Amino acid sequence: MTSAKLSFAVWALVATVATGAAESPALAREFRLGLITPPTHLWTEAAYAFGEELEVESGGAHRLAVFPARQLGTEAQLLQLLQTGALDFAILTISEVTNRMPQFGAFYAPYLVANVTEAAELLRGDVARAMLASMPEEIGVFGVGYGMAGMRQILGRDPIRTASDLRGRKLRITPFIPIRDFYQLLGAAPTPMPLASVYDALANGQIDAIDMDLEAIWKLKYYDYAKTLVLSNHMMFPCVGVISGKTWLVLSEEERALVTRLFREQLDRIMDEYIEKEREWEAALREVDVEIVEVGPEFFGTVLEEWEAIWSDKAPTLSDLKAEAAANASKATAP
């Protein structure tokens, strides 16, 4: 039994204590939420909004301290804090979850969805919600719901006309296995790097290209030193809102309902805003000194099938997600 599963089994033994707490008056609390995104990012804005709503709806009894921009460490460290109860909430990329629960790697299947609208619909769907159910036992946190950071694009310092132009190039990725596998299959040199280091790394030539969403490319001005944007929409990039299992067990039923509802509302708002704003960020990037190369699945050749051959075994949920995504797309195009 893993340490996370063992810890959860121990928590289950004290469930009667939690039940007793649920029957007692709610206690005032100052909760803590950690995430890795900078203050201007939509995820961080949503975290602050969650805190504001929580304070209002609890009549000032509950407050939320938000720690953005890796103030509490990497996502691996955030997850450890959640497991010990030193952190109450987090908005995590699915990357760290995938490192511990490979089935979540299915979300990164290339061209699983075509755009942010389809991504949001899939993340709100039955398969995605069912995947959250195993999180408490597997990693000691409760998954509230999903958000996202739009679709992934490729931004390069040098011209990119074909996928072969990325061969041997140092390409910044979020540090997790599905994206690493994708770019290794493409012949690039995937280079894990925290978000805060990307701008300087592009400026000094430490990296040649980045795998990134339009929000970050625009807001963090990565285009200052990278002049080719491959507009590919090749991969969705979900996040998940989680609550520490230890925090969950000491909350009353009323508190659980309150924080779940408010947290989920903000995660939903993240997805709605990406649907609205991705067009704005793309339009803005078309006005700066960046060459935009629009590509589709054919750009990547056989890499898509090669990636799926690896991940269909690691993430059996992939077939279910693909079926639901295809059904959603069919409904959207039906007359």
Report the pLDDT value the prediction gives residue 26, as an integer from 0 to 100.
59
Angle subtended at Cα 111 by Cα 105 and Cα 114, rounded to the nearest 5 degrees: 125
Report the pLDDT value the prediction gives residue 27, as an integer from 0 to 100.
80
Report the pLDDT value the prediction gives residue 18, as an integer from 0 to 100.
40
Report the pLDDT value the prediction gives residue 13, as an integer from 0 to 100.
38
Report the pLDDT value the prediction gives residue 5, as an integer from 0 to 100.
56
CB 54 within 8 A of CB 285: no
- Span 198-217, average pLDDT: 98
Range of the domain at 260: 3-316
Residue 20: which pLDDT band, with cuts at 50, 70 and 90?
very low
Residue 96: which pLDDT band, with cuts at 50, 70 and 90?
confident
- Span 182-193, average pLDDT: 98
Asked whether residue 329 is domain-assigned, the answer is: no
Report the pLDDT value the prediction gives residue 123, as an integer from 0 to 100.
98
Residue 335: which pLDDT band, with cuts at 50, 70 and 90?
confident
Query: Residue 1 CB: number of other CB atoms within 10 A?
Result: 9
- Report d(CA 217, CA 227) in Å as an integer: 11
Query: Which residue intervals of the chain are DSSP H helices?
Result: 3-13, 15-22, 42-57, 75-84, 94-100, 116-123, 126-132, 135-139, 177-186, 198-203, 214-219, 245-250, 253-285, 303-314, 317-333
Asked whether residue 330 is domain-assigned, the answer is: no
Asked whether residue 194 is domain-assigned, the answer is: yes
Asked whether residue 287 is domain-assigned, the answer is: yes
Asked whether residue 47 is domain-assigned, the answer is: yes
- Report d(CA 264, CA 146) in Å as an integer: 8
> pLDDT per residue over 253-297, tens digit each?
999 999 999 999 999 999 999 999 999 999 999 999 999 999 999
The CATH number of whichever domain residue 81 belongs to comes to: 3.40.190.170
Asked whether residue 94 is domain-assigned, the answer is: yes
Report the pLDDT value the prediction gives residue 22, as an integer from 0 to 100.
42
Asked whether residue 332 is domain-assigned, the answer is: no
CB 79 within 8 A of CB 92: yes
Q: List Cβ neighbours of 128 (8 Å cut-off, separation of 6 or more).
A: 107, 122, 146, 321
Query: Which residue intervals of 251-300 are DSSP H helices?
Result: 253-285
Report the pLDDT value the prediction gives residue 17, as an integer from 0 to 100.
39
- What percentage of the chain reaches a pLDDT higher than 70? 92
> Which residue type sits at 10?
V
Asked whether residue 335 is domain-assigned, the answer is: no
- Look at residues 133, 131, 134, 184 and name the one whose alpha carbon lies nearest to residue 306: 184
Count how many domains the chain has. 1
Residue 21: which pLDDT band, with cuts at 50, 70 and 90?
very low
> pLDDT per residue over 150-177, tens digit each?
999 999 999 999 999 999 999 999 988 9
- Report d(CA 313, CA 103) in Å as an integer: 9
What does each C-alpha distance from 296 to 189, 227, 233, 300 come to in angstroms? 21, 20, 8, 8
- Report d(CA 175, CA 211) in Å as an integer: 11
Token digits of residue 265: 């509302």
